[in-house]
Structure 1
């Protein structure tokens, strides 16, 4: 708001002075007429009224007309503000209350104008970012009409043509059938487009929201081909590195032992041959179990769900690895593939023993909950930091020097094949708890 300086004459003072001047003028005219026309008061009054009233009307109109024009101008600028036009400002020559009102009005216009300019610049920046992003974006109204589509969406679904105003079903009629199928499934998901070498993998993300009182859906199509290929290459490199490391660790001693055995035979010193052959057998069995572990992970068959009593199942586990049972076992039988679940829990129990936990503090707890069964393996080892917790279920990820990174990954594959999931978390007081959450019999 601009500061006005100089003499300030309020609107009330100006109007009061005007009315007082008109009254004084009327009195002067009345006195003059009474002097020239004595004894005729009614005639004097009539002539005085005839002279003063027109002068008063003309004078008051001349003072009020600018105010009325100002009000009309204010009405016009307010209407312009409603229409989003903030380029107008007003001026009032007098230094009074109306001048303060005009200053406040102009200041409001400046603020709105700056805000509108900032919004336009941000919208322009956002539109530039959206138009140049490689993610295809489609905004679809509830009636199925496309409201907005960026450049990537036009190139993917319309060969560069404008998509706004067209029905989504008409656009999808020319799109890949896998995209139509992914949209029909609902929710987010992956789909492929193209064939053989030209096949591309996309991720579909969708969200609904209200815009201007109408439901809209935002579709995001992101190309993942390059990222998946990079991840695939990295995974293969890691697999090859782990297998090479394990093969070298086994083949190098086997080569040395075979050479030593041949040398002993040549010298006729056969008394150490049984020890050498036993060591060769142990290393070959280790190598065989290593290869079988990878094969089991890569070729995990579909689980054969069947009932299994908890007492016998836990007894078989206890005959292979030590642990204590926490709480009572459910009376109802378990429903899972016994061999696969036994393999998963053996991996978890062996991990618990290798965590540095005292053997007597490795526990197995089975709890039945509504619709699910929770199988928890807990220990009092060193636990896991945040980085390890994030990657522990990733295949081939291991913090052990000789680990393959398949134990937890295989347990996760088995749990998910049964329609369940696996969770990991550090325990209060130290240690780790790994929980398999499986559907109960009613959910199978």
Structure 2
């Protein structure tokens, strides 16, 4: 008995069960009263009326009172949801009925607390991001679909408007107030370098620009980074490396030449003509090697501008097959390419020879020429040893070489020629071994 009483105390009937029980009790009481009256006044029509009045009508009145609370809470919840839609998460409701409706209200309030916390975290992150962006030395400008400034940090305000605000101003009008080189860099639509006379000296900037959609509308982001100090550091580091390479190569050649010259003088004094001739031959060989080394650096420094002419792809490749072995991927593009034929032949010969020297089987060295958008794409493929990540990152830098006797100018010179043609050079490892050297060249339509 005590156990049943304990269970009864813990059991909390739901709102629906409470309402149903209440209505059933009222209807039963009304029906009992109606039956008692029928026994005293047994006329059928009057009895039915009494049953309705005393049984059904009180049920309707009580049901209306019971649903009034539900309607009130639903209106409160509807107003809170409308506030959430408008971004106001401070609204909460209260109900102490202890049933399903109270549980719904509690869950709603918990949702409001969660949304308020998330909003607070987002605000804090936005403040942190804005602080970082505003204090970065990189000038940042965001323009909208009408090419008006939607956002600019402090560095951009200093660069373009003497520290004054830029929001809402036309970006094209701002650029027109600066030297033409800035407008040319912006109009190119690509990353590039340009120099300005700024604060009593020449300042070099790197511009990076990207287009994207923000809230469904096109925007464009411009980043202007001062590069003078970085370029100066890189220039000093490059000159130090050049001096080290030159010193090493000169010492490797001059020390043996000095020693052989001394030996030649001694042999001449003794009258050993045959040995003296061998010494002079060795001196000439080392001198020729040194001349080739210095000439390679001179050619890199004096690379002439390309003389562009229309060249048919098949004619170009036929001239290469006579000098180096490789496979050609067919078909070749019908449209000719505008290049300096002598320079570009040397580029392709160097790259194809590199593929053979990397240990690739001769039949696996392949040249592919395709169209990619409005550009020509040349791929030189091999199945050699490939490159490590460190070598890939530095292979195109001047004076970088992994060969014992290399000058580090081959790929650097190749990149200079390709870029002088308005193209790009890319290196990447192939999935099953080997290297891919890709050259992207503008077509005649873009020339």
| Distance change >3 Å, CA 79–CA 366, structure 1 → 2 | closer
Question: Which residue does the alignment assign to 1:253?
Answer: 256
The runs of 5 or more residues in structure 2 that have no matched partner are: 1-8
Among 80, 91, 94, the alignment partner of 2:83 is 80
Task: List alignment gaps of at least 5 residues for structure 1.
Answer: none
When normalised by structure 2's length, the TM-score is: 0.75
User: Counterpart of 1:272 in 2: which secondary structure?
Assistant: helix
Match for 1:147 among 147, 150, 160?
Answer: 150
| Structure 2 residue aligned with 1:384 | 387
| Alignment correspondent of 1:340 | 343
1:314 and 1:41 map into 2 onto residues whose CA distance is 117
**Alignment partners' CA distance in 2, 1:260 and 1:284:** 16
TM-score computed with the length of structure 1 as normaliser: 0.75
Q: Find 1:395's aligned residue among 395, 398, 402.
A: 398
2:225 aligned with 1:216: no
Cross-structure match for 2:72? 69
Q: Report how far residue 404 of structure 1 moved.
A: 0.2
Aligned-partner SS, 2:251: helix
SS at match of 1:222: strand
1:357 touches 1:382 (CA, 8 Å); kept in 2? yes
Map 1:344-363 → 2, pairs under 5 A: 344-345=347-348, 347-348=350-351, 351=354, 354-355=357-358, 361=362
SS at match of 2:184: helix
Q: 5 Å matches for 1:23-422?
A: 63-195=66-198, 198-266=201-269, 269-305=272-308, 313-314=319-320, 318=323, 323-324=324-325, 326=327, 337=340, 339-341=342-344, 343-345=346-348, 347-348=350-351, 351=354, 354-355=357-358, 361=362, 376=380, 382-419=385-422, 422=425
Does the C-alpha gap of structure 1 residues 262 and 165 become closer, same or farther in structure 2, counting only changes over 3 Å? Answer: same
CA change 1:337–1:110 in 2 (3 A) is closer
Query: Would the aligned equivalents of 1:374 and 1:437 in 2 still touch at CA under 8 Å?
Result: yes
Question: Could you tell me how far 1:365 is from its partner in structure 2?
Answer: 6.0
C-alpha distance in 2, partners of 1:155/1:40?
Answer: 100
1:438–1:88 Cα change, 3 Å: closer
Paired residues of 2:428 and 2:435 also in contact (CA < 8 A): yes
> Structure 1 189/23 Cα, relative in aligned 2: closer, same or farther at 3 Å?
same
Task: Give the superposed CA RMSD.
Answer: 4.7
Contact 1:144–1:169 (CA<8 Å) still a contact in 2? Answer: yes
Structure 1 pair 120/277, CA: closer, same or farther in 2 (3 Å)?
same
Displacement after TM superposition at 1:242 (Å): 1.0
Aligned residues between the structures: 430
**Native 8 Å contact 2:241 2:399 kept in 1:** yes
